[in-house]
Structure 1
């Protein structure tokens, strides 16, 4: 359901670090937003060192851009951002002042996964059950 894109400079993170961090982001999102971690998508985008700047100077941050469905509790969404930022620092050793986490959201009905419109927050269990039970694709 969610999509997290982590932008770094080329070679900044090892394959093992990427895999471990993706797993942790999935665990955090799953715990807070009550969806299976298997539905959490994490994508790494690596840019050349001379393509990333902060304050007009070359920089090596980790920029996390996440998409989540509208309607989640604001406190939980803030907790999600804080825990992901903390995980990035822990798994990459990038200082917290070089980690940026930003969420964008839209209504669930504006996104499709597995051929189905996504459920509104709070209706995930029914959505997952319909997939497991092989119910036909439901469009709103």
Structure 2
């Protein structure tokens, strides 16, 4: 359900660091939003050295853009963004001043997974039961 896109300059993160960061983002999201880890998607996008700029200058930040369903309490969302940012710096070794994490949201019904509109937060179990009854596969 949630999607986190981690954008860096090519060769900034090793395969092992990517795996650690994906695991940590998944753990944090699952813990804070009370959803199974199987719901969390983490994608890495690497751009050429000359394709990322900060303040008009070539840069090597770590940009993490997360999408979640609208309806999570504000305190949870604030905790989520803070913990993902902290973990990103800790896991990657990239200084906190070069890490940007943005969490965006939209209503669940504006996203489809497994051929069905996503459930509102708190309605995941019923959604999964319904999908199982219909024979849908959910990742």
TM above 0.5:
yes
How many pairs were matched up? 136
Is structure 2 residue 138 aligned with structure 1 residue 116?
no
Q: What is the CA–CA distance in structure 1 between the aligned matches of 2:128 and 2:81, rounded to whole Å?
A: 24
SS at 1:135 equivalent: helix
In structure 1, the residue matched to 2:33 is 33
Structure 1 residue 15: Cα displacement: 0.3
CA RMSD of aligned residues (A): 1.4
Question: Residues 38-49 of structure 1: matches in 2 within 5 Å?
Answer: 38-49=38-49
Q: Which runs of no fewer than 5 residues in structure 2 stay unpaired? A: none
State the alpha-carbon separation in 1 of the partners of residues 112 and 97 from structure 2.
Answer: 34
Cα distance in 1 between the residues matched to 2:126 and 2:34: 12
Q: Which runs of 5+ in 1 are unaligned?
A: none
Cα deviation, residue 128, structure 1 = 2.8
- The Cα shift of 1:129 comes to 3.4
Partner SS state of residue 105, structure 1: strand
* Secondary structure at the counterpart of residue 46 of structure 2: strand
Name the TM-score, length of structure 1 as normaliser: 0.92
1:19 to 2:19 alignment: yes
In 2, the alpha carbon distance for the partners of 1:127 and 1:84 equals: 27
